[in-house]
Structure 1
């Protein structure tokens, strides 16, 4: 089964749902986002009954989780969702794998008085339930803490107004040690026996040392050859610690300079959000949704042999920070797309509702990737058209 909800449902996902004949929870949002034609909609009664007997489930969005949590007809599924959605609980659950990692759960009303002297700088503070880098702050010095707390208090109302509490809850925060190293995102599902199947690995590139955005992700045969084996070993141990079964996850990790793997967060019941998981089809030629629902595993040696030297990228075009979205008349999407050597797909996003205006998937070689990284050191204000 699948739950479809905002912020975005891609054509590729909709077509996949139709081709696989997946039951879709019948909601106003699902019908609006897909047009409804050709989909196998089921009501909440049937949805709950299927969930209760362990039917495999996927949600394209964090927003869809509220249906599972409200139903509570599969307590083990709820347990798995809670472990991932509550970032502090996730840290607590995998703590035996990382005995030296420092973190703390802190209520928002206690942030101002919280003693951060025990954390080496820089460290991170973020909502215990969060999404899309919302409310995430890098604290570079202990003296900066009061300023960060003031910013968090100012953001609280906006965060809770823009997303459901099950997606972003600005009432409780996770304070955690910074992790040196390269960041990766892993799309993985656990089968009925708890064995993990990795469907993609993305490198998350940051444009600067204090960048916490989601601007650039990319994958390549080189990345898969380097990271598939150690990441598989890690997700086996993580899955055992969390007792995961019939469960897809978008897992974000850092690889330290010493080669250690430290998780950042695990996003439940889905692969990469905003249907960015579609990049697997662009990069590797197989459908990650089909593989999950049919219990298939990629033959990585065969897949990678056809993609040597290629890099597949995904860029999120965020609205420049601090820009008044009410003053924006539009964006130069052709100009934005011209940044890419071989654009594969451009998705226009409603910037009045979300802090981004487009996504672009593209293919290039390593030289093109280097140029793209340089281009992304600038914000996207050059593509903005202002009113009047």
Structure 2
């Protein structure tokens, strides 16, 4: 069963829904996305009845915008409670706190941020909405002054953020302060099968331009990354799944890992894989269709994948628009020039920059011994691709 919501429904997802003859909830987003596809949508009451008949069946949403509908309608199981457990970062920290007994975290109401004495914090640290998405409202704090700067920035950002995403996706009344987790950052798309066993579908390395960068500009995946981290991440997911009682449940989890194999969970996003259908990177890189694998309980043949894809790296790069840019002054994007930046582009997705501070998602392939092009992109001024009035 699928619930489609904004901000983005990819062609791969639409084609997969059609192929599987999937039960897709009829709503405004689904009608717009599937209008040219031969798939009958399921009205709201029938969708609820199908779920009630078998609440253990797999349910997937491409966007956390669906959480409010799930809370109000799929009430015949504990699905909403499991979603809330992961969406609320503080609740999740409570779930795993004995795994990380020395880890500092503290929840603070928005209106009390000014009362926090940064001298009492384990700087460097991170402050972010307790319920959040897509690095919105996230700030790295590396000094006493950095704390005051972060609080000021949050106050400026908060009203703008509210206009982009529903309240269930970002709840800006409560923030969590966490100590920094050391190591490389990864994002993992996985699901728990009907027996509760975790199945990893992709591991993405998160590249940063600097130590204080918290953007999502570039993620990469490669067989080297998966071979090194798969078993460690699978063990962590097994523990989380046991504690939360997860079965037929998809998630996107962000993890840091150091060279000693120590792991720290940054956050868990329930009900979906990588947002904006970025999970499709697994398909471009390895031929893994994450939606089909979850619905049909399939497991990747990693040995075969490692052999066939050992010399390449695939990346997802975001065409971000800096917050200093007045988007109302943009009259177009030079997509041809943006596309030509990449030596081997796989798919360019154009995004409505009037609605979101993004103009494109790019999927591209690279030789693993030649990553200079991608590293340069991390520091690029992407406003050069914008056309102004």
Indicate yes or no: 2:273 matched with 1:271. Answer: yes
Match for residue 169 of structure 1?
A: 171
Match for residue 334 of structure 2?
A: 332
Cα distance, 1:220 vs. partner?
0.8
Match for residue 148 of structure 2?
A: 146
Q: Tell me the secondary structure at the aligned position of residue 114 of structure 2.
A: coil
Q: Distance in 2 between matches of 1:156 and 1:304?
A: 44
What are the superposed Cα offsets for residues 297-327 of structure 1, whole Å, 9 maximum, x if unpaired? 1110011111011111110110123100011
Match for residue 253 of structure 1?
A: 255
What are the superposed Cα offsets for residues 336-384 of structure 1, whole Å, 9 maximum, x if unpaired? 1122121110000000100100011111102332321123212201212
State the number of aligned residues: 387
Evaluate the alpha carbon distance shift between residue 347 and residue 48 of structure 1 in structure 2; reply closer, same or farther with a 3 A threshold: same
1:69-80 matches, within 5 Å, as: 69-80=71-82
CA contact (8 A) 1:221 1:307 kept: yes
Evaluate the alpha carbon distance shift between residue 102 and residue 257 of structure 1 in structure 2; reply closer, same or farther with a 3 A threshold: farther
Q: Distance in 1 between matches of 2:306 and 2:184?
A: 22
What are the superposed Cα offsets for residues 192-238 of structure 1, whole Å, 9 maximum, x if unpaired? 22110001001010111111010001111111111111111111112
Indicate yes or no: 2:7 matched with 1:7. Answer: yes
Alignment gaps of 5+ in structure 2 = none
Structure 1 window deviating more from structure 2 (70-79 vs 80-89): it is 70-79
Match for residue 360 of structure 2?
A: 358
Cα distance, 1:36 vs. partner?
5.7
Match for residue 129 of structure 2?
A: 127
What are the superposed Cα offsets for residues 148-200 of structure 1, whole Å, 9 maximum, x if unpaired? 22221222222222211111111111111111210001000001221100010
Match for residue 347 of structure 1?
A: 349
1:9-88 matches, within 5 Å, as: 9-35=9-35, 37-52=37-52, 53-54=54-55, 55-88=57-90
What are the superposed Cα offsets for residues 57-96 of structure 1, whole Å, 9 maximum, x if unpaired? 0000111121111114234111110011111111111212
CA RMSD in angstroms comes to 1.4
CA contact (8 A) 2:320 2:359 kept: yes
Structure 1 window deviating more from structure 2 (50-59 vs 202-211): it is 50-59
CA contact (8 A) 2:201 2:288 kept: no
Cα distance, 1:40 vs. partner?
2.9
CA contact (8 A) 1:180 1:257 kept: no
Q: Distance in 2 between matches of 1:122 and 1:169?
A: 24
1:186-265 matches, within 5 Å, as: 186-265=188-267
Q: Distance in 2 between matches of 1:39 and 1:86?
A: 35
What are the superposed Cα offsets for residues 247-270 of structure 1, whole Å, 9 maximum, x if unpaired? 000111111343211111111111
Q: Distance in 1 between matches of 2:101 and 2:381?
A: 39
1:280-291 matches, within 5 Å, as: 280-291=282-293
TM-score calculated relative to the size of structure 2? 0.96
Q: Tell me the secondary structure at the aligned position of residue 111 of structure 1.
A: helix
Q: Distance in 1 between matches of 2:298 and 2:72?
A: 30
Cα distance, 1:296 vs. partner?
0.8
Match for residue 103 of structure 1?
A: 105
CA contact (8 A) 1:135 1:155 kept: yes
Q: Tell me the secondary structure at the aligned position of residue 24 of structure 2.
A: strand
Cα distance, 1:51 vs. partner?
2.5
What are the superposed Cα offsets for residues 93-142 of structure 1, whole Å, 9 maximum, x if unpaired? 12121111110111111111123333222211111111111111111112
Q: Tell me the secondary structure at the aligned position of residue 96 of structure 1.
A: coil
Q: Tell me the secondary structure at the aligned position of residue 40 of structure 1.
A: coil
Q: Distance in 1 between matches of 2:66 and 2:370?
A: 37
Q: Distance in 1 between matches of 2:255 and 2:295?
A: 25
Q: Distance in 1 between matches of 2:377 and 2:133?
A: 26
